[in-house]
Amino acid sequence: MEKRSVVIYAEPVSNVVGFNMVLADYALKSGIPVIYIAIDRSPDEYMSISKNYGLSVHNSNKFVFVNGYYAFSGKSCEAMDHISNITNLEEFDMKVFSSFERLGSSPSLIIVDSFSTYYLHNKKELITKFYQLFNARVKNIYGSLVYIVYKGIQTKDFDSVLYSYADILIELKLSEKRGNVYRISKKIAYEMLQEWKGIKKFNEDDINTIFF
């Protein structure tokens, strides 16, 4: 697996979670462990969506959560690594490393859902620096990284930073005729604008484009 940074720009009305679960399922079937940083929803909700899509994510021992959702609810979570304070970016890094070790320190796919929530709860200067440093750390140590970013939440300047550090940019939107669709619009040093495709037709060629 190539170590890459992927940014998914999603319209707020799109089914980005379903897309993430399909992506995670393909990664697991390719032998890539997955660390899912759950911020916007509870782990139970993510697993329910996985089952609805007929995926096997919830049955894999190579899929682990870092639970950031409970940072908002005030609940405790002893069964898995969890983030107690969303403004503590060092804790974020530590929990990812802990999960990485638990998976046997194998190159992994890390999904941050969503990075927009982190942007809203941290100072712009801090989150920008963290994004740059964490990108480098993940690609040097952990594996590949997928950031979920919602369009219209960040400033245009911050979106430009996200774009400049991303190896791959994926756009996700809701189409009236086709439902949820995606396209890969940037790959490393060259532009590669694909046609829009349905999520459930996410194919092996696209997986290879992203990770291999």
For range 145-169, the mean pLDDT: 90
Largest CA distance in the chain: 45
R_g of the chain, CA atoms, integer Å = 16
Q: How does residue 68 score in pLDDT terms, banded at 50, 70 and 90?
A: confident
Q: How far is 143 from 127, CA to CA, in rounded Å? A: 21
CB 6 within 8 A of CB 210: yes
- Which pLDDT belongs to residue 204? 61
Distance of CA 211 to the CA centre of its chain: 13
Find the domain containing 114 and state its range: 5-211
Q: How far is 152 from 116, CA to CA, in rounded Å? A: 10
What's this model's pTM, rounded to 2 decimal places? 0.88
CB within 8 Å of 68: residues ≥ 6 apart: 37, 38, 39, 82, 83, 86, 92
Indicate the number of domains in the chain: 1
pLDDT in tens, 104-148: 888 899 999 989 999 999 999 999 999 999 888 888 888 889 999
CATH number for the domain that contains residue 95 = 3.40.50.300
